[in-house]
Amino acid sequence: MSTASAYMTVSGIDIDVVYKHIKNLHIAVYPPLGRVRVAAPDRLDDDAIRLAVVQRLPWIKKQREQLRSATRQSEREMVTGESHYVWGQRYRLKLVNEPGRIRIDISGNKLTMIAPADCTADQRREAMEEWHRAALKQAIPALIAKWEPIVGRSVSKWTVRRMKTKWGSCNRESAHIWFNLELAKKNPNCLEYIVVHEMTHLLERNHNERFTELMDGFLPDWRARRDELNAAPLKDESWQ
């Protein structure tokens, strides 16, 4: 059973650290963005963990690049029968050829894209991306409005964009928050976790004990939401 958890940043890479009653340190890299998680014996201090991560940076960077390559290789063709995720739910795509602009609709377990027969896969992908972007833009304002009085800080601006290695980021000085477009494919609880996470950074810049305490107060189940967002580890390496 975990006894504590923490964050640290090594060479610009955010590290989730969980202290456990275990003998060896384990490093795992999570899809789809390459989140790094360390399960550490509870006897180790931060310096020892940081050193272990530094020693394995080449391996970590290799795993992260493999994840990004796998994402590129699995790019959707946007054809009938493909699986697509919307707010954590899996749908089968049905492509219907009709003239006019590309339109997308959900009914039951079907995700239907109505598009001209001569449109390209790139055009269909772009339409799906913009549809996901619109879904996020519709969901985010209510979450920010909910959490501003709780956190005690206002968000001056927010933006949805493609992000390769982070689910979200923020500029503490300008109170500008960025959200990863891929969040539209995840459970809404995961989006709320990122909203709270980034807004908490308006109070505390670093992933330190104060940040963890603030998150525990704001969103007690944030660890479960984070784990759901980050899914299963790609692979694991042990440190003796």
pLDDT digits (tens, 9 = 90+) for 143-157: 999 999 999 999 999
pLDDT digits (tens, 9 = 90+) for 95-146: 999 999 999 999 888 899 999 999 999 999 999 999 999 999 999 999 999 9
In this prediction, residues 184-212 reach a mean pLDDT of 93
Indicate if the pLDDT at residue 231 is higher than 80.
Answer: no
> For residue 153, how many C-alpha atoms fall within 13 Å in the half-sphere facing its CB?
23
Q: Is-contact 234 31, C-beta < 8 A?
A: yes
Q: Is-contact 198 169, C-beta < 8 A?
A: yes
Partner residues linked to 19 by β-bridges: 4, 40
pLDDT digits (tens, 9 = 90+) for 18-32: 888 898 999 999 887
Q: Give how far Cα 126 sits from Cα of 107, 111, 181, Å.
A: 21, 16, 12
- Cα(first)–Cα(last) distance of the chain, in Å? 20
Indicate if the pLDDT at residue 203 is higher than 50.
Answer: yes
| DSSP tag of 206 | S
> Where do the structural domains in the chain lie, given as residue ranges?
2-74+233-239, 120-230
In this prediction, residues 183-202 reach a mean pLDDT of 96
d(CA 236, CA 240): 13
Domain 120-230 has CATH 3.30.2010.10: yes
